[in-house]
Amino acid sequence: MSTALLSATGIAKSYGATPALRGVDLTVAEGEIVAITGPSGCGKSTLLHCLAGILRADQGSIVYRDQDLNLWSETSRSRLRRTDFGVLFQFGQLVPELTAAENVALPLLLAGSGRREAREAALGWLERFDVADVADKRPGAMSGGQQQRCAAARALVTAPRVIFADEPTGALDQLSGEQVMAAMVQAVREQGSSVVLVTHEAPIAAYADREVVLRDGAIDPSGIGIFG
């Protein structure tokens, strides 16, 4: 895991007069799982959203495959999140009008796959996350754990090179959370994907190869976080 896939240099971001990030440097290697930890309000989610191109940093560069994403248009960054990047949020954010299979197939359809091909791939991923039985159910008819497994399947279905997971187990009980993480880690290891994971839970952070600790919008050089 020595080849840098994603590199952030001097990332700064403010909301009005309130700084959220203060010159953050971070490199993610190919196939690496990085956990970003730290106290509430330290800038963890803001950093992840900047790295994923959801937010544009005020200063600094975010280089992916020799391209500075901070210079890309919103349309180009959105397209990247349909192909190379997968995003998993705390509450899944499934489309309520779509079934589980339709939600998982959606990124493939947006990328141009045929309906039959996309559905078959979606069903395969739902089976992998042990939720094939809810394939034709809408989110309102699923448990929180089932919804999050479906959301994880959706984030992985395009075989993205980088997965961005923002508190992916924060809305789940400990057992469900660890089951979701175990299934996701197994999948990304097989695909060779990298993961940037924001969490405040030590058992979830322990799935990572490396922990990066944020405090007050900057990386804590002591590196003392929830790993111990």
Kindly report the CATH number assigned to the domain that includes residue 104.
3.40.50.300
Q: Is residue 139 part of a domain?
A: yes
Domain count, the chain: 1
Q: Is residue 227 part of a domain?
A: no
Separation CA 89–CA 72 (nearest Å) = 23
CA 183 to chain centre: 14
Q: Is residue 210 part of a domain?
A: yes
Q: Is residue 92 part of a domain?
A: yes
Q: Give the model confidence (pLDDT) of 68-122 as tens digits.
A: 998 999 999 988 988 899 999 887 789 999 999 999 999 999 889 999 999 999 9
Average the pLDDT over 127-148 and give the result.
Answer: 94
pLDDT band at 223 (very low <50, low <70, confident <90, very high): low
Q: Is residue 228 part of a domain?
A: no
Q: Is residue 54 part of a domain?
A: yes
Quote the domain boundaries for residue 68. 4-219
pLDDT at 227 over 80: no
Quote the pLDDT of residue 179.
87
Q: Give the model confidence (pLDDT) of 173-204 as tens digits.
A: 888 888 889 999 999 999 999 999 999 889 99
Token pair recorded at residue 3: 């080849």
C-alpha closest to that of 196 among 110, 95, 68, 86: 86
Q: Quote the pTM value.
A: 0.91
Q: Is residue 224 part of a domain?
A: no
Token pair recorded at residue 49: 């959203």
Q: Is residue 108 part of a domain?
A: yes
